[in-house]
Structure formats: C-alpha cells, structure tokens
Amino acid sequence: MKQYLLAVQFDESAPTPSDEEMRAQMARTGKVTDEMRAAGSWVFVGGLLPSHATTVVHPGNGTTTMTDGPFAETKEQLGGFWVIECEDLDQALSWAEKCALACGAPIEVRPFNDGSGE
C-alpha cells in the first residue's frame, strides 16, 4: 500500500464561515474520515491553525533565523490534511473527491516518496 497526503487548500481571503457552517463542515469531514477508517485507508488526519500562527525557520550559512507568518505570501494556505493508504492513485483520488465535497475546498493529492523511484 502506498501512502498519500490529501491536503486541504484553504483560501484565507474568503469570508470566515459561521459557527453553524463550521459545525456542518466538521460533521461532513468526520463522516469521510469514519469511512476511511472502516475501509482501512485512514492513517492520520489533522487540522491546522491559520497561517498567522506560523513560524518559519530559515537555514543559512550554518545558522537559522525565524520569522512569523507563512513562508509563501499567498491567500491559499494549507488548512488541514489526511494521510491515507491506498492501492493506487485512482483510489486516493476517489477519497480526495469525497474530502473536497465534504469540506468545500480544493484537495491536493500527493504521494509520499517511498524510495521506489515511482
């Protein structure tokens, strides 16, 4: 089984959802996560705080510096993610479709590098 990252792309420039909308979204994504568990595909899921909570550690000349805020200046940030195990990319894309519909946001699907060269 190959592992995939399903990354939720969150648009920080969009209006903040109401508490009711957030509860409904969490219920929908929770159902998808439960489906993943039942199917044996689920490995881990996590939600992230907004990018203003970010600290970036920069390497350089044998030292590091730390800055507040996201590394990339963009309105689209990583909002959360699932790590899943699937037989192939098609199966991962099927889960990503369910995730996108549940959370109402784009999902980036990326395979983990397992060292196989694929």
**Tokens 């519909």, located at residue:** 101
> What is each CA distance from 55 to 45, 49, 84, 96, 107, in whole angstroms?
21, 12, 27, 28, 24
Q: What's the topology of domain 2-108? A: Alpha-Beta Plaits (3.30.70)
Residue 104 has pLDDT above 70, yes or no: yes
Share of the chain above pLDDT 70, in %: 95
- Prediction pTM value: 0.85
- pLDDT tens digits, residue range 43-87? 999 999 888 888 989 899 999 999 987 776 767 788 899 999 999
Contacts of 22-29 spanning 24+ positions with Cβ under 8 A: 25/102, 25/103, 25/104, 28/101, 28/102, 28/103, 29/99, 29/102, 29/103
| C-beta neighbour count of 2 within 10 angstroms | 16
Domain boundaries along the sequence of the chain: 2-108
Q: State residue 75's pLDDT score.
A: 72
